[in-house]
Amino acid sequence: MTTQHGKAAMRVGIEIGGTFTDLISFDGQGGLRFVKVPSVPARPEEGALAALASASVPLVQVRELVHGSTVATNAVIQRSGARVAFVTTRGFRDILLLQRQDRTRIYDLAYAKPVPIVARRDCYEVDERMLHDGTIGTSLDEAEIERDLIPKLARGDYSAIAICLLNSYRNPDHERALAELIKRRLQNVVIACSSDVAPEFREYERASTTAIAAHIQPVVSEYLARIERHLAAQNFGGAFSVMQSNGGRLPCAGMRRNPVTALFSGPAAGVMGAIRQAGRSGYRNLITFDMGGTSTDVCLVDDGEPELASQTMIDGLPVRTPLLDIVSVGAGCGSIVWVDNGGMLRVGPNSAGADPGPACYRRGGKRPTITDAHVIRGTIRPEAFLGGAMSIDATASAEAFAELAQRFGVNLPDMAESVIGLAIGNIVRAIQLVSTERGRDPRDYVLVAFGGAGPLHAAKIAEDLGIDTILVPPYAGVISAYGLLAADYRIFETMTKRLPVDDAAPGQVRDVFQAMSERASVRLRELGLDPGRAALTLTAEMRFLGQAFEVPVDLSAEDVARVGVGLLVERFAIAHHRVYRHDSSNRLGTEIVSFRLGAVVAESSAPPLRINRDGPSGAVRPHRIYEGKQSVEAHALARAALHAGQRIDGPAVLDDPTSTIHVPPGWYAACDEHDNLLIRRNAA
């Protein structure tokens, strides 16, 4: 869909989701156009190219293209990446299989540990030993490598090699020497060294991250190359960058070298887009709620900054890399409704996705989904879905739910309402994970709802959490694509260095900051970015002596310049108390175990999103929806019909070209001067 268009240089964002691929573009005057096309899971670049074609974007006029994709994620989940050999220090061959002693399902008698990326037969050992302080205990045996290891690797027909030697985070010399020896003989093999991918302590997590990086690097590199070839054929001469999981982006060349940072680029882009648009209305303490067709992603934002985590899990395997602290649940609008062996109703995590999609899409899907439930309730109007651009079949939704309704002895609308309530319960628990379980009260935050299905469920979720204000940005269904253009360039440097918080600590912290800043400057220059424009922050991972895990303590560059023991202890006490609700700083010593430096190069500000009101928006129409186990009279109108200062009381359904907004009884919706829709409780 096009709202405006000019001939000046354009900026384009393309985000590939599990169900839809979204494109948004701005011309030099802020003119906006956007499209949503079905994703092609087996060939994701086709979805991106189809979006470009559907939007009629003249690539020769595009000065900047930013992309977010699930290619890296899918490669891990489906094990469709490169065949990997894993090389480690002698005696540690089984580290990927031994993993940790924890069990994610402690009552499951048939529990099995996650299957690693690399099979045991593809794990190799070399004679060497780097000690914990970075000194050499046993030198690397280069003759043995030439005689024994390299011939085995050559016979194995590997596309990638992951190298993770003991304590290499303190001294990478052996890893680099080993990589160089292999490159001389095996020029066409991708090599990932743990000292480059995740230079941090905890051997298993570092090994897992390196193996995953090696597995996905050839796949991501070839995927990006295919897009680049298409762009070149269309005379594209602008900058091409890719979104990362940490809320920033990288030039394409940088992403090819370390694609593990792109595992969760789509959800991260949504968070950044929500922050940018909500900030225009003055809201900086947010819970972002992104519900699409396949999953729901939530993230907590304090004072305009999203929470960062140092580690995540994918398919049960740890990935050690800085990323936005996003919790995902398999509750999207395409999530399939089913009954388990105990007769309990379930929603997700499996999704109908883009192919075949929900039953109402008439693409071969037969199983009931959340989308079909909303069609039955009337909260999705078939004639207005995606602005009328996509035809859906209400009869097919009813047929998909008929068996379930009969099984539970209820009518179709009651069945649909129960299913939606179950999905909402799953989402509420996800929000509690990022809020109450991290020492934050959700009532102190604004819920920002986006994605194609977020605004459909936001008010009911807010009711359960005690949240009074919901913000729905313009064109909420394409906020992730917008976030690609709103994101800055961002890199991180990490360093494991244990320091007791004593009189010597402040000087050592400043020395670490200086060394890491210099490394970050080198990387930025290699990526074609100006280090002089970079804003730097330092995070110290701190803990009480004797603890096994750390809490992050953030320090600005100004904090580092004036850092002292008192400041470190005070900041740590606040951070620790927020998570654990107790403070032992008066009787226990503290230590820093690692550092993370962030360098952000700000991009030009993304233009504000504005609702197009040039065309006819239509009047308020009567419409019936099923609410609270009864059919009630509601209002139906286009979102564009609401102007700044106007409001409408629920129950109401507002149709947007990219999403549908449900305002239940007891709530009202009003448009502000920035075209953000604010949904609030009616005064008692």
* Residue 1 predicted with pLDDT over 60: no
In a domain, 568, yes or no: yes
* 32 and 84 co-located in one domain: no
- Helix 370-377 to helix 394-408 angle (10° resolution) is 100
Token pair of 601, please? 């190069």
pLDDT value of residue 5: 43
* 190 and 105 co-located in one domain: yes
How long a stretch of residues is the chain? Answer: 684
In a domain, 552, yes or no: yes
- The β-bridge relationship of strands 123-126 and 84-89 is parallel
Instruction: Please provide the average confidence, as pLDDT, over all residues in the chain.
Output: 89
pLDDT value of residue 329: 82
* 105 and 200 co-located in one domain: yes
In a domain, 252, yes or no: yes
Give the residues across from 287 on adjacent strands: 300, 447
Token pair of 666, please? 């007891």
pLDDT value of residue 118: 96
Domain of 150 in residue numbering reads as: 80-212
In a domain, 528, yes or no: yes
- Please choose, from the candidates 322, 315, 319, the residue with its C-alpha nearest in 3D space to the C-alpha of residue 245: 322
pLDDT value of residue 327: 87
pLDDT value of residue 90: 95
Helix (H/G/I), strand (E/B), else coil: 488? coil
Q: Alpha-carbon distance 19 to 21, whole Å? A: 7
CATH of the domain at 235: 3.30.420.40
In a domain, 306, yes or no: no
In a domain, 570, yes or no: yes
- Per-residue pLDDT of 404-425, as tens digits, reads 999 999 999 999 999 999 999 9
Q: Alpha-carbon distance 273 to 283, whole Å? A: 13
* 58 and 141 co-located in one domain: no
* 182 and 157 co-located in one domain: yes
* 155 and 208 co-located in one domain: yes
* Residue 500 predicted with pLDDT over 90: yes
Average pLDDT over residues 259-274: 90
pLDDT value of residue 30: 66
- Per-residue pLDDT of 155-174, as tens digits, reads 999 999 999 999 999 999 99
**Is the CA virtual torsion 196, 198, 200, 201 positive or negative?**
negative
* Helix intervals (H) in 539-639: 557-561, 565-580
* 90 and 202 co-located in one domain: yes
* Residue 361 predicted with pLDDT over 80: yes
**Is the CA virtual torsion 447, 448, 452, 455 positive or negative?**
positive
Residue 193: pLDDT band (50, 70, 90) is very high
In a domain, 315, yes or no: no
* 21 and 88 co-located in one domain: no
How many Cα neighbours within 13 Å face the side chain of 110?
Answer: 0
- Per-residue pLDDT of 462-486, as tens digits, reads 999 999 999 999 999 999 999 999 9
Q: Alpha-carbon distance 56 to 2, whole Å? A: 10
Tell me the CA distances in angstroms from 591 to 552, 562, 565, 654, one per residue in order: 12, 19, 11, 53
Q: How many domains does the chain have?
A: 4
Average pLDDT over residues 530-551: 91
